[in-house]
Amino acid sequence: MRRLENILVTGGAGFIGSNFIRLLLESAPGFNGRIINFDALTYAGNIASLLDVQAKFGGKRYFFERGNIQDADLVATIFEKYRIDTVVHFAAESHVDRSIVEPDAFVQTNIVGTFTLLEATRRYWARRDGVLFHHISTDEVYGSLGEINTFTETTPYAPRSPYSASKAASDHMVMAFYHTYGLPVTLSNCSNNYGPYQFPEKFIPLMILNLKEGKSLPVYGDGRNVRDWIHVDDHNRAVWQILRQSKIGESYNIGGENEWENIHLIQKLIEIIAKALGADTDELNRLITFVKDRPGHDRRYAINCAKIRRELNWERVIGFEEGLAKTVDWYLGNKEWIDGVRSGVYRQWIEQNYKER
């Protein structure tokens, strides 16, 4: 039996990680343990996303440690201090555009940082009973699909950006520690997530906020690139299923089976926001601006989820229309969080209250 008593969540102040922590502490069936949120609080990590969790569970079942996953001494200290028996590794540099401009940061965090965590677990978990290292990855490691077929767990890796290459390298390192050292690991590759608390540089929140403010809606190339979208809560429920029920050494694809061309998704957002704000749809459509395509832009991603459905009995439960409408409502209704992220107010508050070791 896996212990699941002291779970280290790396990148727990980020978009998916913060939602995962909230899910486990508030509604995950069968979880009564502690969560240790380990985050460097870089630009996309916002501890303010978990203030309600801190108020309710802080010092009892929720603990925060600020630091870099590349700091081997600090990682070792945290393992000892909290008697870590499970790692859920969300921490990553994840924005493709940034990886094109600053690829070195992606190599350091995604490859070196993952290696540092693996080494810590290998040394601390001298006995392998009841422990697990779960690595969160992306469908982008598989490269680009044509108009048919989907990614499965056996699809060959073919990364085409510095971001996806760094994630592919970290995936291979995780599996190498399993095969070489017997480290208990699992791995999941997920499609595009959407939902609350996502940093506004990402596609859906960027488009929502630009629509609200009457700014242009930049669309790469012809807008026909296809992505598979899944609500962050459905993704995190899948991760929880993996932690509880999966076989060691297995990888699982997690997706929404919900493909949208970028241009059609923008048009859907325009439809929802026009209704919410009482705005003119034609006026909002005029904000669409086609821009030069980014280098190495993959044409299509699509996930096959048959394995996780079959082996772990997971299904997504949030329909896209429902989830997208709730996401729009969240961004329209959380001005303080958005203004704090954009203005640097939260960054100043973080530096005053959460010193890095």
* pLDDT per residue as tens digits for the range 306-356: 999 999 999 999 999 999 999 999 999 999 999 888 877 667 766 777 766
Threshold 0.75, pTM exceeds: yes
Catalytic residue among 62, 142, 163, 252: 163
How far, in Å, are 85, 174, 195, 252 from residue 129 at the CA level?
Answer: 9, 18, 35, 22
Contact 304, 253 (CB under 8 A): yes
Q: Which of 140, 171, 234, 298 is catalytic?
A: 140
Q: For this structure, is 140 an active site residue?
A: yes
DSSP state of 271: H
In the 8-state DSSP scheme, what is residue 113?
I
What is the phi/psi pair of residue 222, to 5°?
Answer: -95, 0
Q: Which residues of 33-47 are buried (b: 16+ CB within 10 A; e: fewer)?
A: ebbbbbbbbbebbbb
Give the phi and the psi of residue 344 in degrees, each rounded to 5. 90, 5
The class (CATH top level) of 6-197+230-256+302-317 is alpha beta
Domain boundaries, the chain: 6-197+230-256+302-317
Q: pLDDT tens, position by position, for the chain (357 residues)? A: 899 999 999 999 999 999 999 999 999 888 999 999 999 998 788 888 999 999 999 999 999 999 999 999 999 999 999 999 999 999 999 878 889 999 999 999 999 999 999 999 999 999 889 999 999 999 999 999 988 899 999 999 999 999 999 999 999 999 999 999 999 999 999 999 999 999 888 999 999 999 999 999 999 999 999 999 999 999 999 999 999 999 999 999 999 999 999 999 999 999 999 999 999 999 999 999 999 988 888 899 999 999 999 999 999 999 999 999 999 999 999 999 998 888 776 677 667 777 666
Coil/strand/helix, residue 162: helix
Q: Quick one: tokens of 237? A: 């429920």
Catalytic residue chosen out of the listed positions 139, 171, 234, 259? 139
Question: How many Å apart are CA 205 and CA 156, to the nearest integer?
Answer: 31
